[in-house]
Copies of this chain bind each other. A is one copy, B any other.
């Protein structure tokens, strides 16, 4: 018999992920504080509930896709929280990005309550969440991974079992280190080109065909030069690189480059650009030099 799935957090990424679960045929119960995305999911055949307790008593597995650890904790342990309402043996899948040690702590507490925890952070952004072509990095016991595989596959193109709980977040953290650094470096590169008076589109062409090539330059330079949306907030990298650096500190690993990159995101947030698209990172650099990366 097919499990009933709950989904909490129908935001930028979560709405598309929930839609793909529903469209694959899973009975789906959804909860969000915003009424609009809930109404959209109801259109696809999902059932909406008013409280987390109603959701918890109705489902076998719940996917949580909210901003950060404090939101996850409020959902699980808050007054009228989810953890107390879930059936014994139910599974909690956390797709938010948190640190590996935070994931292990959540798993331990949920295990003490007779619940199962799965680490399942994602990569790919809103467009791939909508398409169901995310990358999902799972930390879970092998039998738990096997049991949840059909559900997870409805949301992704690439599914990696990275090890026990915490290993999924560790993999995500390694990617966010690279992504956050390469985006900041791409902004530095284009700001340097602008300040040096060389054509930024030519530099884009040269570097993406040379040893400096990276995904972020290929997928962010055009928005920096010509404008256009990325659907990824600048302040998310401040948070994700914070997880990278906190985890590295626990492990006694100095990360000079990731630490420096995080300062650019802090400069962006301090300049009031936290809720802007992540390419706003280049704006303070333009202000320093007076040379514009953005084409007139």
Take A163-B199, A257-B260, A261-B256 as given contacts and tell me if A211 and B179 are in contact as well, using a CB distance cutoff of 8 Å. yes
Write out the residue numbers on chain B whose beta carbons fall within 8 Å of the beta carbon of A184.
Answer: 256-257
Which of B171, B217, B219, B253 interacts with A178 by CB under 8 Å?
Answer: B217
**Count of chain copies:** 2
Nearest CB of B to A277, in Å: 14
Partner of A192, one of B182, B210, B253: B253
With a cutoff of 8 Å between Cβ atoms, the chain B residues found around residue A171 in the complex are 193, 198, 202-203, 206
Confirm or deny: A118 has a beta carbon within 8 angstroms of a beta carbon on chain B. no
Any chain B CB within 8 A of the CB of A125?
yes
Interface residue tally on A, bucketed by range: 35 or more
CB-CB < 8 A to A203: which residues of B?
Answer: 171, 174
Are B124 and A160 closer than 8 Å at their CB atoms?
no
Say if the beta carbon of A195 comes within 8 Å of chain B: yes
| 6 smallest beta-carbon distances between A and B, as pairs | A178-B212, A260-B260, A214-B214, A195-B251, A213-B215, A181-B185
Q: Which residues of A contact B (CB under 8 A)?
A: 100, 123-125, 135, 137, 158, 160, 162-163, 167, 170-171, 173-179, 181-182, 184-186, 188-189, 191-193, 195-199, 202-203, 205-207, 209-217, 219, 244, 247-248, 251-261, 263-264, 285, 288-289, 291
Residue pairs across A and B with Cβ atoms less than 8 A apart, 7 shown, are A123-B210, A123-B211, A174-B192, A182-B214, A196-B251, A214-B215, A257-B261
